[in-house]
């Protein structure tokens, strides 16, 4: 409630028809409130789940799948020489998190291989 008050209040009002204060004034028990919040966080179309997941706005799982399929379709139908110019379908991820790459490794390959072998890989 404290980290994302606007998203919480919007979902609480639109989905349950209750004011956010119903959590504090005893209209709902803490157990009921917890269950409803857990359900909101599981639903990718809720504003609260989008806020917690660092999305700019709610986006259902199907939309992510369709965006991936669109990207694959465009790549498959684009000449190999021009594939580097393809921009992925825009997604509602804040600060370009989906485009960030991991940092270069700070250890050599032999160390990585030894660690993998010690774990049974």
Euclidean distance between CA atoms 90 and 99, whole angstroms: 11
Q: Contact at 8 Å (CB) between 94 and 54? A: yes
Q: What is the pLDDT of residues 94-107, one digit of tens each?
A: 765 555 556 777 88
Whether the predicted pLDDT of 25 surpasses 60 = yes
- Residue ranges covered by each domain of the chain: 5-52, 60-121
Q: What is the pLDDT of residues 41-82, one digit of tens each?
A: 999 999 999 999 889 999 999 999 999 999 999 999 999 888
Q: Average pLDDT in the 11-20 region?
A: 91
Q: How high does pLDDT run on average in the chain?
A: 88
What is the model's pLDDT at position 102? 64
What is the model's pLDDT at position 71? 93
CA torsion through residues 79, 85, 90, 95, sign: positive
């Amino acid at each position: 409630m404290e980290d994302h008050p606007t998203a919480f209040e919007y979902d609480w009002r639109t989905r349950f028809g209750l004011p956010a204060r119903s959590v504090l004034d005893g209209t709902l028990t803490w157990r009921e409130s917890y269950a409803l919040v857990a359900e909101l966080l599981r639903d990718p179309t809720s504003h609260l789940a989008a806020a917690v997941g660092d999305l700019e706005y709610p986006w259902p799982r199907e939309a992510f799948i369709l965006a991936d399929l669109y990207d694959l379709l465009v790549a498959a139908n684009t000449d190999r020489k021009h594939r580097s110019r393809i921009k992925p379908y825009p997604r509602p991820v804040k600060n370009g998190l989906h485009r960030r790459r991991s940092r270069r490794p700070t250890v050599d390959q032999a160390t990585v291989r030894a660690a993998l072998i010690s774990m049974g890989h």
